[in-house]
Structure formats: C-alpha cells, structure tokens
Structure 1
Amino acid sequence: MVRVCYSLLVLLICVPVLSVPKKAAAATDSPNVIVIFVDDQGYYDLGCYGATEVETPRIDAMAREGMLFEDYYAAAPICSPSRAGLLTGCYPRRVGNHIWVHRADSIAGIHPDELTLAELFQANGYATACIGKWHLGFAEPFLPKNQGFDEYFGLLHNLDPVEVVYFGDKGVPLMRNDSVVKQPADPAELTQIYTDEAIAFIEKNKEHPFFLYVPHTMLHHPLGVSEPFRGSSNWGEYGDAIQELDANVGRIFDTLKNLQIDDNTIVIYASDNGRGPGRTPEQKIQGRKLSTYEGGIRVPAIAWGPGAGIQAGKRSAAVTRAMDWYPTLATLAGISVPEGRVIDGRDITSLLKGDTQFVPAASLKKTLNALVPLRRRWEPPEEWAALIKRHEFNDAFFYHGSQGELAAVRWKNWKLQLNPTPLLYDLAADPGEKTAVRNREVTRKLRGMAILFQHEMLADARPPGVVNRPGANGKTLIPRLMSEGLNTSLGVTYARYGDRTLEMDIYRPNDAWGKLPAVV
C-alpha cells in the first residue's frame, strides 16, 4: 500500500462556451497593455522593495512613476496554477489548474472553454503575443495559439532537471509558434532574446493596440545570466539575473518612449510566486515558493500607466491579487467582461486612479467591471450570513498550497492558517507570522469564509482541459467519477482489464477540516 497526499477533482461535465462579440480593429486610442511576469522573484528582491544586494534602477523608476503594491498576492505559490489564475482571473481551483505544475507529459491544461485575458483582448481588436515561459499545457488545445495569442515565442516548459529527462539529450526546445528555433535552449540568453522579441512585436504594432504577455523564464532554477551581467551584483547568480531583468525592462520602456506610445501604454510587473530555495538574504516575511507562508505567495507588483490615469509615486496597502488584473485591465481598455463569465478578480481601477484607497464594494458600481464579483455564488447558511458580508467574502484571499489544498484565509490584516491547527496572525503587527494571536470572533469569521469557499468551489469549480491518453491495449482511459461530497472520499475508476479494476480512493489533504491521506 502506498500512502500519498493528493487533491483531485474529477468532473465529467460540459461547460458552455461563452461567446465574446468580435470587434473590428480597436480604436487607435485604446491603450496598449504589457504584462511582465517574472518567475520566482521574492517579495523584497527589488530596490524599491528594500533589497540592498541588487540595483534595479529601471524597475525602481517604474515604481516611482506608478503604483507599488505592498500586499499583493500571486494566485498560487507555484508556477502553473499561478499563471492560470493570472490569465483567467480565477482562483486556479475554479478552473481546475490548481495542483502542482504541468510536466512535459501532462495531459491537462486550461480548458478551451475558459476565456483567457488574451482571448478577451483579441476579441476586441487587439494584436496579442505571449513571449516567454508558457507552462499551461502542451497538447494542441492548450497551446498559446489556442488560448488567445496571435504569436508565441519562448519555452512551453520550464527548465527543471525533470523536464530535461523528458526530452533526453536534445533538451528543452525554444519555440516560435509550432516550430523549434533552438534545442536545447540556453538559459543564459533567454532574458535578452525574450526582450528582443517583445520589442519587435511592439515595433510591428506601434500603430495598432496590442496585448503583450512576457512571462520570463528567469529567475527559475537553473539560473542563466548573459556575460555582461555576470558578477554584477552582491547576491551571486540570482542577483545578477535580477539586474539583467531590470536592464531589459528598461529596454522595453525605452522602446515605448522612442516610438512615442508610452503615454498610451499600461505596464504591469509582477512575480508568479516567492523565492526559490537556497536564496538566503533575510526578509521580514518567512517562507519561499511552494509554501503558504507570506514569503511563498506575497510578491512584488507594480502598475504603470500615466496616460491611463494610474497614480504616480503611490504605495498601496490594499490587499490585491493576481486575479484582479483581468477585470481591471479590461476596464482600462474599455472592455466589458462578458455576461455570465464568473471570475474571482475584482476591478481595482478606482484604486489605481486614486478615487479610493481600497477596493470599493462591488455594489457601489464605481468601475466598468465593478459588478463582476457579484456573479460568484452567495448562498450562506444562516450561521454565516449574520457574520460574513458578501463584500467581505469577495475581498478575502484564499491561499492554496502547491498541491491545490486550501491552506489559509486573509481578510484585512488577519490571516488564519487552517491546519494542522488553526492559527491566527495579525500581519500588520507580525508580517513574519512568528506569534499567533487569539481573537475568537475573527477566527470564527475567517473559518466561516473558508467553509463557504469550499462549498462554492465544490459547486462551481470548472474542469481543466484534458486530452485522452491511450492505455496499454490501445483503448482510451477516461476517469469516471464514483462519488463526491464535503465529507466523502472521491472514488475514481481508471481502467478495467478483465476481472481486474484499477481504482483509487482520494481524500482532500490539508483542507479546512484537517490533513487526510490518500490510499492508493
């Protein structure tokens, strides 16, 4: 008998495709949007966040000219789920992409019926490109070209040693759309060539609105630094790679200015999760990627866009999440999130523009997509209805671990770690989560939020995209759901061979009700 911990949701249902009305070419005054998504950069690992081991003058300048977020959370503490949350505006669990990462042999990805941020912009006349690390599924339905991107250049996979094993001696390929450009890819040149490609795309579309997503491979292990930046920092190869990223962010800003389109461009800079292992300089928050301590999931984020009305020189203490960019960028571009599309992101446009200091309740209707959070299920039983208001629930952040388990809840300055024993922290007074505090009312409120969230996800979570994999006998293996519920295991039958059946009983790990093993 093998004991393992899994979190698995198998749903064999059909999700209707929500149509997005196509526009002709967007108006020339529609703002360009660039999202620079860095891999494994810790919360303090920029000059503007307090790092002294590195110099990041170009990103620091972006922060001075824009808004820096002090309490911003990635969608997950690990690569693939984090990217799914950013591009769909949903908790990764809602879209079935919440468990670990997609490896090269993965049969799953973002479901084709999901409406990615790229698809939303593409449908509204924008040119779209993804340049960098994809990591959201590798079968045909899950590739960037089928998720809203007109163009793709980069690595579909990451460069973990386990990925190299899949590709053998050839190594992980660098791709342009469906064609191999180079194999194996050289980590030391990726930051430079991604930026070269990004600049070429910007120049090609300087007179047409564009949505450009640049998910860098750095700072993920194995690190790669080009010759001019080796030894340039006081933080080893990690610091050198940060300084190279900074210089290349500067190249993008220089291009926007030289083309005189900087006044009509919005730039977002953020990390996908916290630092990787072995990066030792102290920081006030503890933890690293994969964990739900603050250091694993609270990350740097900066929004820049003077021409769009984004405030300059502001630091925001509002609790914001990667999912919030979806409705916010749509609003800044004058695009409505289609009716019926349920997402978890909130429109923070009023915060960016200085109309409010915190994210206003959806009912105030302050922005184009303000009402989107009200599409989420809200059917609290009486026990919780009197304790938890709807806008409080929408503003809470639900931390999920690397295996997809619900692990903690944050509301305002309070954070409740759910297991193995519920522990409450006041992050305003104790950002390092060193000393748990007692507050019975707050603990009950946050535990109630966790229970309501679990019910919501069990009722409304959508399936991942899955391609069928043939079995040893050439027949397709399709999992069949045998049971589901809050207090039951999931029994899944995978295949039948004569009188033998392969079955698994799967239990929720690290959930609000405690840690449970799976028996396979």
Structure 2
Amino acid sequence: MKLGVVVVAGVLGGAAAASGAPTSAAPLTHPNFLWLIAEDFGPHLGCYGTKQVWTPHLDELARQGVRYTRFYTTAPVCSPSRSAFMTGMYATSIGAHNHRSHRDDGFQLPPGVRLLTDWLREAGYFTANIRQLPPSCGFRGTGKTDWNFAVQGKPFDSDNWADLKSHQPFFAQVNFQETHRPFRAPHRADPAQVQIPPYYPDHPITRADWAAYLDAASELDRKVGRVLAQLEADGLADRTVVFFFADNGEAHVRGKQFCYEEGLHVPLIIRWPKAFPPPKHFQPG
C-alpha cells in the first residue's frame, strides 16, 4: 500500500479502537487530513539542502513535522502514480500502469479495489478535491485527479474549501501545478549559482532551465504557505494532519517518465497537529 493510505488507515483504526466507536460514524476523536500535492517535483526544497530555492513555508512544515528522505512514488508519471496512491495498490496490480491508457474506454477497477475516499466516507469523513479556495489565497486548486480508470459515482463530496469547517472530520486535497512545465514563476534563482545534477551538461541553457524549475518550487512554496495560513485562520490547523508530497519526480531528462531516481524520488513531509500527536510506533522514513 502507498504510505499515505497506510498512515490515514492507521490513524482511523487507532482512533476508532481508542474511542470504541463504529467506523460508520467518525467521532470527534478523528483528525482531519489535508494532502498538498505538487506535480513533477523532486526533493528540491531548502529543507532538503537545495540552494537557490526559497521555500520557508515548507521548510517550517518540515521543522514542525517529519521530513522523509527516502520516499518514492510507484511510477514516474502522474496517472499510474495517482491511481496507486488513491487506491493503495500498485498500478500494475490494478491494470492502471500504462499512462492514460484508459481515459476513454470505461476501464473499471478490479472487484474489491476501492478509492481511499470510499473508505473514508464509511468512516464518517467528508471528502473534498479543492478547486475553490478563499480569495485570500489568491489562486485556485487544479482539482487534478488523472486516475487511469473510470470512476462510478462521485469520488468527492465538494470542491470548495469553505465547506471544510462545517464538515469535520474531513479529507481534502489541494493540487498545485507550479512545477509542471511550462514554468511560469518570477525569476529569482541565479543560473550561475544553481547546482545542476552531475549527469547534465554544464551549459547556460541547462542552468537557465534548472533555475526556472527552482523558481517554480519557490512559487509553489508561496502558494502552500497561503493554504497553511488559511488552515490556521479557520481554526483547523490544530486538528489536521498535513501531508506534502509530489505525484512523481521532476520534468527533466532522467526524471519524469524515467524509472530512475529522479523520476521516482519525491519529497514527503507530514505534520501532526497538537490535538493528535503521532502514534507511538510512528518513525521517520
């Protein structure tokens, strides 16, 4: 199973056991879950040691939580990876491994395989794939799913952040496209100062492209900061487990669509809230 599904399932099971409550109705002892999902992004944040990138909000999230250094997606491109982390199964085991091969053919998941949101609903959770964010955030979520299978019914209850406060506990995800090509972020990184991977030619074009990628990461951090600030302003931060991760590695040669380190190695940061400290067995990856 994918780590996100494992952690969510573990917390649900632990909370239900502690409360003695049936899983059909989530009690107040259940935390909220918020997934912040980047596209095409490797572990290139300040907290991972990257230079010429400005990521104060994600660095602070890592300081408050757990930063994973060996977290890998199960596929180097979005649709099989997203199919995996929303079902908790390898894409090869559910027939979703060929990128976007089932967009129009009505392909169904195998019997017994369900979305994470299905399990969460049974546990009493409200589910949301956020497109509509408050005006204070200054942007919209992409609402991306890109699963490589057809979905029967409605996988999410809402796409509006405003619904979360009155529908707790909730599971919500916000998708960010800043690190997906083409990069459109303000220029800040100095191409002459960036540390390009050693397998790339040290050429001005390479440096400029890598700098643009790091600028996109800085812009991603700015928007993540807006969402985290809104979570705090709404009084939800103290009972929400926050995950930050990416669907696959960076969109460079040897990265996205390549089963190399750069295509599979992504960041993962988990912050547990004050009201719900980590389980005793929870260890950094």
Query: CA shift at 1:125, angstroms?
Result: 1.1
Aligned-pair Cα RMSD in Å: 2.6
TM-score normalised to structure 1 length: 0.41
After superposition, residues 173-212 of structure 1 pair within 5 angstroms as 197=160, 199-205=161-167, 208-212=168-172
Query: CA shift at 1:49, angstroms?
Result: 0.9
Query: CA shift at 1:236, angstroms?
Result: 4.4
Q: From the superposition, tell whether residues 232 and 110 of structure 1 become closer, same or farther in structure 2 (CA, over 3 Å).
A: farther
Q: Give the structure with the higher percent strand.
A: 1
After superposition, residues 261-276 of structure 1 pair within 5 angstroms as 261-276=236-251
Residue 305 of structure 1: aligned partner? 272
The answer to whether the 8 Å contact 1:102/1:109 transfers is no
Deviations 1:64-90 (A, max 9, x none): 000011111112111111111111111
Query: CA shift at 1:137, angstroms?
Result: 4.5
After superposition, residues 85-484 of structure 1 pair within 5 angstroms as 85-102=84-101, 105=104, 107-108=106-107, 110-111=109-110, 113-131=112-130, 132-137=143-148, 141-142=150-151, 145-146=153-154, 148-152=155-159, 197=160, 199-205=161-167, 208-225=168-185, 230-234=186-190, 236-277=211-252, 287-307=254-274, 308-310=276-278, 350-352=280-282, 354=283
3-state secondary structure, aligned to 2:91 = coil
Residue 55 of structure 1: aligned partner? 54
Query: CA shift at 1:222, angstroms?
Result: 3.0
The answer to whether the 8 Å contact 2:61/2:269 transfers is yes
Which AA in structure 2 matches 1:49?
A: Y
Q: From the superposition, tell whether residues 73 and 350 of structure 1 become closer, same or farther in structure 2 (CA, over 3 Å).
A: farther
Residue 345 of structure 1: aligned partner? none
The answer to whether the 8 Å contact 2:165/2:236 transfers is no
How many pairs are equivalent? 232
Which AA in structure 2 matches 1:38?
A: A
Identity value in percent: 33
Which AA in structure 1 matches 2:244?
A: Y
Q: What are structure 1's unaligned runs of at least 5 residues?
A: 1-20, 153-196, 279-286, 311-348, 359-520
The answer to whether the 8 Å contact 1:37/1:271 transfers is yes
The answer to whether the 8 Å contact 2:99/2:148 transfers is no
For the residues of structure 1 that align with 2:56 and 2:228, how far apart are their CA atoms? 12
For the residues of structure 2 that align with 1:222 and 1:104, how far apart are their CA atoms? 23
Which AA in structure 1 matches 2:32?
A: N
3-state secondary structure, aligned to 1:263 = helix
For the residues of structure 2 that align with 1:351 and 1:260, how far apart are their CA atoms? 28
Residue 467 of structure 1: aligned partner? none
1:64 aligns with 2:63: yes
For the residues of structure 1 that align with 2:262 and 2:269, how far apart are their CA atoms? 18
3-state secondary structure, aligned to 2:60 = helix
Query: CA shift at 1:22, angstroms?
Result: 6.8
Give the structure with higher Rg (CA). 1
Which AA in structure 1 matches 2:230?
A: T
Greater RCO structure (CA 8 Å; 6+ sep): 2
Query: CA shift at 1:105, angstroms?
Result: 3.9
Residue 3 of structure 2: aligned partner? none
Residue 18 of structure 1: aligned partner? none
Query: CA shift at 1:202, angstroms?
Result: 3.2
Which AA in structure 1 matches 2:223?
A: N
Q: From the superposition, tell whether residues 104 and 97 of structure 1 become closer, same or farther in structure 2 (CA, over 3 Å).
A: closer
For the residues of structure 2 that align with 1:124 and 1:245, how far apart are their CA atoms? 32
Residue 37 of structure 2: aligned partner? 37
Deviations 1:143-188 (A, max 9, x none): 6x53x31124xxxxxxxxxxxxxxxxxxxxxxxxxxxxxxxxxxxx
Query: CA shift at 1:259, angstroms?
Result: 2.4
TM-score normalised to structure 2 length: 0.72
Which AA in structure 1 matches 2:277?
A: G
